[in-house]
Amino acid sequence: MESLPPSHRFAAELDAGWGGTEGGEAERLRGNNSAVLRRVENQMGGVETFLQEMLRRRDVLNGTSRKRKPSLSTGEPVLSLVASSKLRDYLITQMSDSSDSSEADSPPGSITSLDSQTSISSPTFPSENSMPILPEKSVLDLIPECVPHFSQKVLDEITMPMSGWNPSTMTLPPPRPANLESPTNRELLQAYLDISAKRLADTSPSYVDLFRKYIPAMAYDSTGLMEGILALAAIQIGLMRKDTRIVAVDAASHYHKALKAHFNAVADPNSRSKDSLLATSIILGHYEIWNGENVKMGVHMLGGRDIILARGKAAHMTPVGRALYAAFNRMDVATSSITGNPTFLTKDWWTVDPFTRVPISTDSPTLLAADAALSKLCVLCCKLTYLKAWSLKRRRTLWVKSNGNPSLEQKESLQEIIEDRVLKLEEELDMWYAELPSWFSALDTGPPDYNPGDEDINTTPIASIAMGSYQHTSIALVHGWAIGVRLQLNRISNPDMPVVPPRLGSLCHTLLRIFACLPSSTDACIVAPLFAAGMELRQKCHQEWLLIALRDRIDETGFHGLIFLREGLRFTWAKLEGMNKGRFNRIKEGAASKIDGVSENLWAAEGMLGTFEKLALYDSPDMVGKRKNFQGDIDTSNLPEDLVPYEAPKADPIVIVIDSASSSPVAAPKRLRSDSPEIILVKRNGRVV
């Protein structure tokens, strides 16, 4: 027995060492709650299955039986009668306690989407003073402390519906891998748990503790994921300490090991459905964001998109699978909002997350409400990225075809179409606000998206920005993103507006207050909304305040995303004042500027700068077709439902003029099968309509 690995020794000792539940208390509860008794019996079956698998492992290792999966036809129980009775009594007391729990952020027992066949069962959370299910300290010491133990939460997950689930691969982590024998690696793993996991969690508010619990557990069965989280921890520690050796040697070494293992896993058909594969892609994408390698980040985003498509939609209907999908989708939205590309995930995937269809009730726990609100908002953000790319392409094409001098009629016609699309998204955003509970707002404000106390940022004499006040960080993040969407929609409609109107100026003020109150762990999530608000600042005192705040955050964390944001804002303010010329293209020294097959505009921040006529709208290599940009399905159907698809020019346009003296509608001619786009002009009384 002494030669067995810790996890197998644990299984063998569990039957013999169970104890610690008071039978009298269980007897009292046994007669009071039939629902609890039914749940307990379900759990007992899951525990039996789990222990049978563990005992099989023990037999195989001891040589008693070389048969990996012997028949279970005998139905002989694994637990002794005494152990089974004690376990049943323990579960009764625990489930009775948890049924009365009122913890603020505990999820409800079940969240069901509009699809009647899709149900997400949420794990229950034991109370703080619950008795540990493993009473013997000697057994607990055998399992790595950073991996979730055989707790009440794990017991619930044993019976959770999960694609390809089996007890040996989805419940108990395997033995400690060899790469954690190094003290340095153990320190990095602890740094991930203490620092990196919180930063990742704050990029995607979730009621499932994905980055601090599930991903470390999955990493014990995935070399690529383990090396990835060590690489992320190393680069964040190196940037914090300003230690180039840690960044260039330790982090890079773990990153390349992670890449090698990840590529092997991607090539293995048996690994494609595993949650750890998608988790690895997400971790590596975050590594490149922190490393300042935007192009390599795009590679991982494309890879993650392909993994999601290969896994299928059903794989993202479990709590962990859904949390992984949401984390990727939010990273996709955040990066695409800045690059100006449409999101990598297309329209048929925007609502895969069941939380996009779950109503947010007034008594929803805080994290659950924030998680659902952000998932719903991300659907609008996906539409926004497509609308932004489409409108930018239409304006540039009109500019090119008119040799930089479009007629007033052409500009007005295009403007009317764009404003109509923007109005539809603004109405959807208003509906999103209306669904939020009244308590889901700032503590010092009334309506959720407008604070009368926040004066127009461009007219207020106040030089310093006061911190906002929210009862939870996730609420501030969600509202920050919603304000960012509102500001971007305004710029899509009004690229030539010099100063935003007072109401939007007030929202800019609110967003700066949100940034001031957020911890540095949220920086990766707030970059895009802060970019949109920062470009609207016109007073020097507010620009200086923001630059100083960014400098302090950069000194604290070394995050390259904030450096990119700071340089983009400096370029914006200088060019709007006529003090700067040329295009913005901030590439970190030594970073990749181009990789075949990946969008070439990931350094230009055109998702933000391209919405200003004076910044990059008509000052870009895109104007002469010298860059290859990711287009998604922008030319098919992934825009607001009634948006006319648009084809990129492949040759000189064919101009078709229809002159109609009547006021009756004129039917458009049948489209020609040609590589050349058609420009259809309808004239009435000599005026283009």
pLDDT digits (tens, 9 = 90+) for 158-170: 333 333 334 444 4
Q: What is the mean pLDDT of the chain?
A: 75
Number of domains comprising the chain: 3
25-39, 165-179, 355-369: least confident range:
165-179
Residue with tokens 């779950």: 358
Is residue 678 within 8 A of residue 426, CB to CB? The reply is no
CA-CA-CA-CA dihedral for 13, 14, 16, 19, to nearest 10: 140
Tokens read off for 209: 């503790």
Residue 281 within a domain: no
Report how far residue 173's alpha carbon sits from residue 147's, in angstroms, rounded to the nearest whole number: 7
Tokens read off for 447: 């309506």
Q: What is the pLDDT of residue 52?
A: 67
- Give the mean model confidence (pLDDT) for residues 207-228: 92
Same domain? 443 vs 405: yes
Same domain? 508 vs 576: yes
Residue 4 within a domain: yes
Q: What is the pLDDT of residue 460?
A: 86
* Residue 680 DSSP label: E
Same domain? 72 vs 164: yes
Question: Who's near 684: CB < 8 A, 6+ residues apart?
Answer: 660, 661, 662, 663
Residue 333 within a domain: no
Same domain? 475 vs 556: yes
Residue 2 within a domain: yes
In which element (H, E) is residue 682 found?
strand 678-684
Is residue 150 within 8 A of residue 386, CB to CB? The reply is no
- Give the mean model confidence (pLDDT) for residues 428-456: 78
Tokens read off for 304: 């993650």
Same domain? 614 vs 660: no
Residue 248 within a domain: no
pLDDT in tens, 280-321: 999 999 999 999 998 899 999 999 999 999 999 999 999 999
Same domain? 620 vs 663: no
Same domain? 543 vs 659: no
Residue numbers of the domain that contains 666: 654-688
Of residues 644 and 340, more confidence is placed in: 340
Banded model confidence at residue 271, pLDDT cuts 50, 70, 90: confident
Domain end among 138, 153, 171: 171
Residue 274 within a domain: no
pLDDT in tens, 453-510: 578 899 988 888 999 999 999 999 999 999 999 999 999 999 999 999 999 999 999 9
Is residue 585 within 8 A of residue 579, CB to CB? The reply is no
3-state secondary structure of 282: helix
- Give the mean model confidence (pLDDT) for residues 382-396: 92
Task: Give the dihedral sign, CA 364/368/372/374.
Answer: positive
Residue 643 within a domain: no
Domain end among 134, 155, 171: 171
Report how far residue 618's alpha carbon sits from residue 620's, in angstroms, rounded to the nearest whole number: 6
Report how far residue 605's alpha carbon sits from residue 225's, in angstroms, rounded to the nearest whole number: 30
Of residues 170 and 272, more confidence is placed in: 272
Of residues 324 and 678, more confidence is placed in: 324
Is residue 228 within 8 A of residue 287, CB to CB? The reply is yes
pLDDT in tens, 174-188: 444 546 778 889 999
Tokens read off for 333: 């939205």
Report how far residue 591's alpha carbon sits from residue 58's, in angstroms, rounded to the nearest whole number: 50
- Asked if the model's pLDDT at residue 526 lies above 60, the reply is yes
- Asked if the model's pLDDT at residue 4 lies above 50, the reply is no
Tell how strand 654-659 and strand 687-688 pair up: unpaired
Beta partners for residue 688, in sequence order:
683
Same domain? 159 vs 40: yes
Q: What is the pLDDT of residue 269?
A: 86
Domain end among 624, 644, 671: 624
Question: Who's near 41: CB < 8 A, 6+ residues apart?
Answer: none
Q: What is the pLDDT of residue 7?
A: 43
Closest by alpha carbon to 75, among 36, 53, 99, 48? 48
Percent of the chain with pLDDT over 70: 63
Residue 342 within a domain: no
- Asked if the model's pLDDT at residue 439 lies above 90, the reply is yes
Same domain? 676 vs 579: no
Same domain? 582 vs 660: no
Of residues 49 and 641, more confidence is placed in: 49
pLDDT in tens, 586-618: 787 777 777 777 777 788 888 999 888 888 777
- Give the mean model confidence (pLDDT) for residues 382-407: 90
Same domain? 571 vs 682: no
Same domain? 409 vs 535: yes
